[in-house]
A = this chain, B = another copy of it.
Amino acid sequence: MAQHIAFHLAGSAVATPRRRVPSAEVDALIGQSAGWVEDRFGIASRFWAEPDETSSMLGAQAAQAALIDAGWDAGSLDVIVGACGVMEQPIPGTAVLIQRRLGLSDSGIPAFDVNATCLSFLLAFDVVLSGFALGKWRRALIVGADIASAALDFSDPEASAIFGDGAAAVALEAGGPHQLLTLRLATYGEGADHCRLEAGGTRLRPHDDLAGFLARSKFQMDGVGVFKATARRFPAFMSGLLDAANVDETALNSIIPHQASATALEHLKRSIAGAHGKTVDIFRSHGNQIAVSLPHALHTARITGLLAPGSTSLLVGSSAGISLGGAVVCW
């Protein structure tokens, strides 16, 4: 981004499904001895939604709480941006369903979705702040919600045991005191097959080939492939991002990453000087929540006092695609 953009992170909140699932339950599910999942993947528990807990329901819960946190009436919003990894349903989008749940059905407040899988929040943040910079909107709500547990293949522990469900929302206002110094997204489609959920769009047709549809209706991940593809691109991406922000990595006060996996978080901490003590890590208690991990980590940073006035944060992550994304914010 060519210029700094002033905004105010006025409110934030998260919502989790009722059911917390300890890793011992997942051990049983995948036929491993007690303690295997936690030892292997560094995750102690995650939340999984019951069928009645939908993306828009969890998203609206988080949205409502973020509005209360900001002290705003829902009707004062100028835009609602849905930032999910996978939508609740194809038509209409999740943001519309959340608008309705917020009692804004007849408001006319624009509600739409953006998608960059696990980086959808960063994309929404870019869209909203661009709108602020151009005077289009004063108040915006970004809502992410993902229910990974709807499509997990437990015959592949690496692609199932680490995922959790949840929602997060942030209330943003134009005008400061916070500053976006830079925001970047880079996509390398060569990695498009490393993380895949194929069924649920226009290509696979359940009425023509049900068996083929069902066989591809669970999330598939080549963990080593995606890690390698991401790690290879990461150093150049990071140095470009920090150069654009004119910030040295040692000057970062907090690092707010997507929670891809314990391995990815450890790699990130080792890649940035001094990162171990200042990186938000909620993986052990929530796992990888797809597009919700990043705003959930931002909310955690905020309520634990990491976003001190004048301090600088790096928001960073990777997503299916593969894409790398990052932003540098001064609070």
A contact residues vs B (CB 8 Å cutoff): 1-3, 51, 54-55, 80, 84-97, 99-100, 104-117, 119, 123, 127, 130-131, 133-136, 145-147, 150-151, 184-190, 192, 195-208, 210, 213-214, 217-219, 233, 319-323
**A114 to B89 alpha-carbon distance, docked (Å):** 15
Q: Could you list 12 examples of A-B contacts with CB < 8 Å?
A: A1-B134, A55-B203, A84-B202, A91-B320, A106-B188, A107-B187, A110-B185, A130-B130, A146-B202, A199-B200, A199-B206, A207-B217
**A131 to B127 alpha-carbon distance, docked (Å):** 9
Q: Chain B residues near A146: list those with CB within 8 A.
A: 202
**A110 to B115 alpha-carbon distance, docked (Å):** 12
Do the beta carbons of A114 and B111 come within 8 Å of each other? no
Do the beta carbons of B130 and A319 come within 8 Å of each other? no
Shortest A58–chain B CB gap in Å is 10
Given contacts A93-B117, A319-B92, contact A108 B201 (CB under 8 A): no
Given contacts A201-B87, A217-B207, contact A111 B321 (CB under 8 A): yes
Do the beta carbons of A96 and B202 come within 8 Å of each other? no
Known interface pairs A91-B196, A112-B323; 4 further A-B residue pairs with C-beta atoms within 8 A, sorted by A's residue number: A92-B322, A96-B187, A107-B187, A110-B184
Do the beta carbons of B115 and A113 come within 8 Å of each other? yes
Do the beta carbons of A109 and B187 come within 8 Å of each other? yes
Shortest A127–chain B CB gap in Å is 6
Shortest A101–chain B CB gap in Å is 8
Shortest A22–chain B CB gap in Å is 22
**A227 to B42 alpha-carbon distance, docked (Å):** 53
Q: Chain B residues near A197: list those with CB within 8 A.
A: 89-91
Do the beta carbons of A130 and B136 come within 8 Å of each other? yes
Q: Chain B residues near A186: list those with CB within 8 A.
A: 108-110
Do the beta carbons of A135 and B3 come within 8 Å of each other? yes
Shortest A175–chain B CB gap in Å is 14
